[in-house]
Amino acid sequence: MKNLALSKIALLSDPRFKLIFMLGLFVTLILMSNYVLAADLLAGTDADIKDTMTGTGKHWLLWIDGGISLASFAYTKKPMVFFSVLGISLFITALVKLAGGSTV
């Protein structure tokens, strides 16, 4: 009888058991959070991103990319680094187009 009581206490003080219990509790709380009344916090961000990328946001990205490529060219003296701005600007334009914005 005494041995059985010791094994129960040993199980509760085992750090592996505590870790498994805490992980199980954490996963249960995460899975239950889907059913709690909550609002979508990112509901309007899609339109905000489109407005930013079709407005001044795209121009700022292109100016920043041009500055970085110019500084990188000054540091490395390799023309391919400077002309990488074309590839990055095409990539930004493609992302804006995929997001549904205009590229003007």
Tally of domains within the chain: 2
Residues 24 and 50 reside in one and the same domain = no
3-state secondary structure 54-94: HCHHHHHHHHHHHHHHHHHHHHHCCHHHHCHHHHHHHHHHH
Q: Measuring CA to CA, which residue among 16, 14, 21 is closest to residue 6?
A: 14
Residue with token string 């003080």: 13
Q: Is residue 104 part of a domain?
A: no
Domain encompassing residue 23: 2-35
Same domain flag for 63 and 89: yes
Instruction: State if pTM tops 0.75.
Output: no
| pLDDT by position in tens, the chain (length 104) | 455 555 566 666 778 888 998 999 999 988 887 777 667 777 777 677 677 767 777 778 778 878 888 888 888 888 888 887 778 877 877 777 776 665 55
Same domain, 28 and 61: no
